Amino acid sequence: MQIDLKSLTYTELENFLKDNFNFPKYKANQVYKWLYRGVTTFDEMTDISKKDRENLKEKAYINILEIQRKLVSKIDGTTKYLFKLSDGEYVESVVMRYKHGNSICISTQVGCKMRCDFCASALNGFIRNLTSSEIIDQIIFAQKDLGEKISNVVLMGMGEPLDNMENVLKFLENIHHPEGLCISHRHISLSTCGLVDKIDMLSDMDMQLTLSVSLHAPNDEIRNKIMPISLKYPYEDLMKSCKNYFNKTKRRISLEYILIDDLNDSKECAKMLSDRLRGFSCHVNLIPANSVKEKPHQKSPMQKVMEFQAELKRNNINATVRRTLGSDINASCGQLRNKEKQN
């Protein structure tokens, strides 16, 4: 079986190349650099001899993502990619342009098992986990296409990253290597719907990631209605786990809260949320829900969003309203893939 080279860590690659072809370390370093620059064939590795390249082709391969579609927002330059994977499945990634640099939102699974009621990602169910190379390749091939460096990464696209823990951890090991993408864990946010046992595992690893938790409700009653995962991991346990993450890593947690009209956006909800978060060092990110064609939920009116934020602030809870980017290209994840599948 051929080896997917980008699924190996730097040290594993060194060992593989040494054991199979007796490559010295400097040559493994050259191969590693080419891979993370986004070459698609071994023949592009011009400082590797032809004979070595032929040997490589026999035992290894380079994973590739093809750009199936690319949409660029006329409003703010947000760029959305629909990537085609080697088995014909699709994933989406979105590059956001900020003054401080480029940030990319990437996917970790094809589809999703979590079945959150408001989300487009799981509409066609769960297909499969992405490999660590398919996760990192979204950054490599977006960077290559843009001709620009990406400095921040959010694992907030399709899928639940903590439901694909093994490959996500491998991805995290590769992403900060100085000879590769060289993106520090401090510039990465991982978003989860709240898999408590996996959050605890992350806390123990103390990796300096920013943890985003999709909360979306002030209590179990409302959360249970829209997020089935809440039936498995109740609110109390989730908050305990979040506090543990902060205590161990000293990284402030970001809590995501989608505002859905007449479901979780009342003043009482804001008060309840404030009570639950009192004394906890966190940041609440309020997101007016994007409407998904197949779902009944409506976006809260801006007036209610502002009132919700004001109530949190009155209670000394840090809260911002997420700026909408790429509104003209349906930049929220899941939507483009669904469209492609229907065609």
Catalytic residue numbers? 92, 333
DSSP characters over 155-214: E-SSS-GGGGHHHHHHHHHHHT-TTTT---GGGEEEEES--HHHHHHHHHH---PEEEEE
Does the protein bind ligand SAH through residue 132 (CB under 6 A)?
A: no
- Judge contact between 156 and 191, C-beta under 8 A: yes
Would you say 143 or 290 has its CB closer to ligand SAH?
A: 290
What CA–CA distances, in Å, run from 153 to 75, 106, 142, 182, 249?
22, 7, 12, 12, 19
Regarding 79 and contact with ligand SAH (CB under 6 A), the answer is no
| Half-sphere exposure of residue 177: CA atoms within 13 angstroms, side-chain side | 22
Residue closest to 188 by CA, chosen among 238, 251, 243: 251
- Give the residues across from 3 on adjacent strands: 60
Q: Which one of 167, 214, 249, 264 is in contact with ligand SAH (CB under 6 A)?
A: 214
Contact letters for ligand SAH, residues 8-47 (x by CB under 6 A): ----------------------------------------
Name the one range near ligand SAH by CB under 6 A: 58-66, 169-177, 271-279, 286-294: 286-294
Q: Does 126 bind ligand SAH (CB under 6 A)?
A: no
Of 48 and 116, CB closest to ligand SAH: 116
Q: Which among 152, 160, 256, 158 has a CA at the least distance from the CA of 199?
A: 160
Decide if 150 contacts 103 (C-beta within 8 A).
yes
Nearer residue to ligand SAH within complex by CB, 5 or 96 = 96
Residue 192 in the binding site for ligand SAH (CB under 6 A): yes
Of 140, 289, 305, 317, the residue at the interface with ligand SAH (CB under 6 A) is 289
Count of residues engaged in binding ligand SAH, rule: CB under 6 A: 16
Contacting residue, 156, 172, 175, 305, with ligand SAH by CB under 6 A:
156
Per CB under 6 A, which region of 91-99, 179-187, 188-196, 243-251 contacts ligand SAH?
188-196
| Neighbour tally for 170: CB within 10 Å | 20
CB of 116 to ligand SAH, least distance (A): 6
Q: Which of 191, 264, 300, 338 forms a contact with ligand SAH (CB under 6 A)?
A: 191
Residue number with CB closer to ligand SAH (43 or 328): 328
246 binds ligand SAH (CB under 6 A): no
Task: Give the C-alpha separation, 258 to 170, whole Å.
Answer: 30
265 sits near ligand SAH (criterion: CB under 6 A): no
Give the nearer residue to ligand SAH in terms of CB position, either 187 or 297. Answer: 297
Task: Assess contact for 120 and 294: CB atoms under 8 A.
Answer: yes
Nearer Cβ to ligand SAH, position 117 or 173? 117
In single-letter form, the type of residue at position 63 comes to N
255 lies in the site for ligand SAH, by CB under 6 A: no
Q: Cα angle vertex 186, ends 213, 28, to 5°?
A: 120
Tokens of 225: 């209605």
Closest CA to 70 of 55, 83, 54: 83
Q: Which stretch binds ligand SAH (CB under 6 A): 56-64, 132-140, 172-180, 287-295?
A: 287-295
137: contact with ligand SAH by CB under 6 A: no
